Amino acid sequence: MTIYKFKTPISEEDVRKLRVGDTIYVSGIMVTARDEAHKRALEYYEEGKKLPVDFEGIALYHCGPIVKKVNDEWVAVAAGPTTSTRMDLFEAEFIEKFKVRIIIGKGGMGEKTTKACERYGAVYCAFVGGAAVLAANAIKRIKGVEWLDLGMPEALWILEVENFGPLIVTIDSHGNNLHQEIMSRVEANKDIIYKKLGLKG
Amino acid sequence: MSLVEKIEDTVVNLLRLAVTKLPKDVKEALEAAYEKENNETAKTQLKAILDNITLAEKTRRPMCQDTGVIIFYVSVGDEFKKIGKLPEIFRNATIRATKEIPLRPNAVHPITQKNSGDNTGRYLPYINWEIIQGDFLEITAFPKGGGSENMSRLGMLKPGEGINGMKKFVVDTVLRAGGQPCPPVILGVGLGGGADIAMKLAKKALLRPITERHPDPEIARLEKELLDAINDSGIGPMGLGGRTTALGVNIEYAHRHPASYPVGVVVQCWAARRASARIYFDGTVEYLTHEVGEG
């Protein structure tokens, strides 16, 4: 349970040091991407088109922020994480193709993503769901936006962050997945709950 | 100010109050959960939630970026004369609130995937109407996030499975959801009616403060029994383990068809946002969930 502070770009070597339960704070460049942006990025890759953002070594954030324009500049109003399991459809391929090192979201991710983290050297970190104002406070500047045609929540927001966290490493690059560990404990508690309610399994 | 303008302003205020400030019952339940938690990770999660709530109130910013699809519950008195104007007022207030607060534009066309940009669209904002006797209008703004909504379920159980079937369905919904709906959650459960009625009642049950039990003692007992059982799951805040998985279980029921046993479960995240006000025909506004004079 160590605390680390990272500045992007983050190397594979840095990420490999991390273990489930560690806490990290990230400074540097973070880019938001949800369902539609993941889908489009992988389509671009298939078609050999260049992406507007280089994801290598930066932090990828599952987030659809509320932003507003003040004097021609975008400002983050509220920017908490979204449920990451929806991105399980794309993430393993995303990690492989674009070499993203830190994925931030909430609720955890599945087996395929865990394997990709292990194989290509990436971690998944949980930020407190709904803590949108805390998150927005760590965003120093919105550097830019791409694919705004997807709508405000789905666009790629390029954020400059300072000590973004606390982020808890819940999937490390050694095959550990804290969400799955807790869910197996929960599964074991199921019998206790059923018994308490007078139910048969 | 005309009555129409007054109603529009009040609706914008209700949306602002709802997204920036939690009702007292929910906030106190989160504080109590923090106090009784002894798991270290769980404590950090609850601390961040409480800090975030304070910060949102202070800076008047939405506590969560997902300000939901805009839903209103409206009880309108039979003597309230502006009924016909109300849909347009709610629409205009939604557009204004989206810009002024701001709210995240969350209305997406299901075929073209285009976001309307202002939270309005076909059937949105959605209004649940109820006609009552009197000369007033009661409005509840109920913006609810998509992450918890996605964990909601409908079960068309066999009547032979009865109450035990219902309990199992509710518990299984929570266990399957794990950390995804941003626990500690509140569960709205709707029993009976038909498929649509069960889901409607499940969501409506969430309007009741979690400190209030159902007036029917048998239902009240079930609410408590389910809450205790769910908190034995170990899912904990954000699904990272801990003692508090749910803050409350609220059940509503309707009589059912002899062949059906519908059970609706609507999962609500910790950011259980709702704000209500009563508007009289003479223009007097009473805020019901938040202290008067705010907004």
Residue of B110, B187, B126 lying closest to B153 (CA atoms): B187
- Residue B283's pLDDT band (boundaries 50, 70, 90)? very high
Partner B contacted by A68 (CB < 8 A): yes
- Residue A70: strand pairing partners: A73
| pLDDT greater than 90 at residue B292 | no
Distance set, CA B285 to CA A68, B268, B279, B289, B292 (Å): 30, 28, 5, 13, 9
Distance between CA atoms of residues A175 and B166, nearest Å = 37
Residue of B281, B261, B262 lying closest to B199 (CA atoms): B262
- Are the beta carbons of B102 and A68 separated by less than 8 Å? yes
B192 phi, psi to nearest 5 deg = 85, -160
Model pLDDT, residue A1: 75
Interface of B with A in 67-126 (CB under 8 A): 67, 102-106, 108, 113-115, 117
DSSP state letters, B209-260: -TTSPPSSHHHHHHHHHHHHHHTTS---GGGSS-S-SEEEEEEEEEEE-TT-
| pLDDT greater than 60 at residue B259 | yes
Model pLDDT, residue A201: 67
- Residue B295's pLDDT band (boundaries 50, 70, 90)? very low
Average pLDDT over residues B175-202: 97
pLDDT above 70 covers what percent of chain B?
99
Prediction ipTM score: 0.90
Mean pLDDT is lowest, of A181-185, B78-82, B291-295, for B291-295
Distance between CA atoms of residues B136 and A138, nearest Å = 45
Q: Is B130 exposed, middle or buried (0-12, 13-18, 19+ CB in 10 A)?
A: exposed
- Are the beta carbons of B103 and A182 separated by less than 8 Å? no
Mean pLDDT is lowest, of A79-83, B90-94, B153-157, for A79-83
The minimal CB distance from A189 to the residues B106, B150, B232 is found for B232
- Residue B294's pLDDT band (boundaries 50, 70, 90)? very low
CB pairs under 8 A between A and B: 172
Model pLDDT, residue B82: 85
CA distance A200 to chain B (A): 9
Q: Cis omega before residue A81 (within 30°)?
A: no
User: pLDDT digits over B124-146, tens only?
Assistant: 999 999 999 999 999 999 999 99
| pLDDT greater than 80 at residue A197 | yes
Interface of B with A in 16-55 (CB under 8 A): 41, 44-45, 48-49, 51-52, 55
The minimal CB distance from A134 to the residues B48, B105, B117 is found for B48
B161 → chain A, closest CA residue:
A199
- Are the beta carbons of A106 and B179 separated by less than 8 Å? yes
- Residue B153: strand pairing partners: B265
Tell me the residue type at B116: S
Q: To probe the interface with A, which of B65, B244, B273 has the most A CB atoms within 10 Å? A: B65
Partner B contacted by A184 (CB < 8 A): no
Q: Is B119 exposed, middle or buried (0-12, 13-18, 19+ CB in 10 A)?
A: buried
Average pLDDT over residues A86-103: 97
B100 → chain A, closest CA residue:
A68
- Are the beta carbons of A186 and B171 separated by less than 8 Å? no
Distance between CA atoms of residues B73 and B214, nearest Å = 19
- Are the beta carbons of A132 and B64 separated by less than 8 Å? yes
User: pLDDT digits over B24-41, tens only?
Assistant: 999 999 999 999 999 988
A198 → chain B, closest CA residue:
B164
Interface of A with B in 139-168 (CB under 8 A): 150-154, 166, 168
The sign of the CA dihedral B122, B125, B130, B132 is negative
DSSP state letters, chain B: --HHHHHHHHHHHHHHHHHHS--HHHHHHHHHHHHH---HHHHHHHHHHHHHHHHHHHHT--SSS---B-EEEEEEETT-TTGGGHHHHHHHHHHHHHHHTT-----B-TTT--B-SSS-BTTBSEEEEEEESSSEEEEEE--B-HHHHTT-EEEEE-GGGHHHHHHHHHHHHHHHHTTTT-SSEEEEEEEEE-HHHHHHHHHHHTTS-TTSPPSSHHHHHHHHHHHHHHTTS---GGGSS-S-SEEEEEEEEEEE-TT-EEEEEEEE-S----EEEEEETTS-EEESSS-TT--
Q: Which two tokens stand for residue B147?
A: 């992450």
Q: Which two tokens stand for residue B165?
A: 């079937």
Number of neighbours of residue B270 by Cβ within 10 angstroms: 32
CA distance B33 to chain A (A): 16
CA distance B107 to chain A (A): 10
Report the mean per-residue pLDDT for chain A: 96
Interface of A with B in 75-104 (CB under 8 A): 77-80, 82-83, 85
> What is the pTM for the complete model shown?
0.93
B235 CB neighbours in chain A (<8 A) are 182, 186
Model pLDDT, residue B173: 98
Tell the residue number behind the tokens 């674009």, with chain if given: A98
Average pLDDT over residues B219-235: 98
A66 CB neighbours in chain B (<8 A) are 62, 65, 67, 102-104
Q: Is B152 exposed, middle or buried (0-12, 13-18, 19+ CB in 10 A)?
A: buried
Axis crossing angle, helix B217-230 with helix B162-177, rounded to the nearest 10: 40
Residue of B229, B109, B246 lying closest to B168 (CA atoms): B229
Buried b / exposed e over A46-72, threshold 16 CB at 10 Å, is: eeeeeeebebebbbbbbbbbbbeeeee
B230 → chain A, closest CA residue:
A193
- Residue B212's pLDDT band (boundaries 50, 70, 90)? very high
The minimal CB distance from A130 to the residues B59, B239, B270 is found for B270
Those residues whose C-beta lies under 8 Å from the C-beta of residue B251, and which sit 6 or more positions away, are B189, B190, B191, B205, B214, B219, B222, B223
**B254 close to B192: Cβ distance less than 8 angstroms:** yes
Higher pLDDT, B40 or B252: B252
The minimal CB distance from B102 to the residues A77, A132, A134 is found for A77
A113 phi, psi to nearest 5 deg = -70, -40
- Residue B291's pLDDT band (boundaries 50, 70, 90)? confident
User: pLDDT digits over A97-116, tens only?
Assistant: 999 999 999 999 999 999 99
- Are the beta carbons of B52 and A134 separated by less than 8 Å? yes
- Are the beta carbons of A131 and B52 separated by less than 8 Å? yes
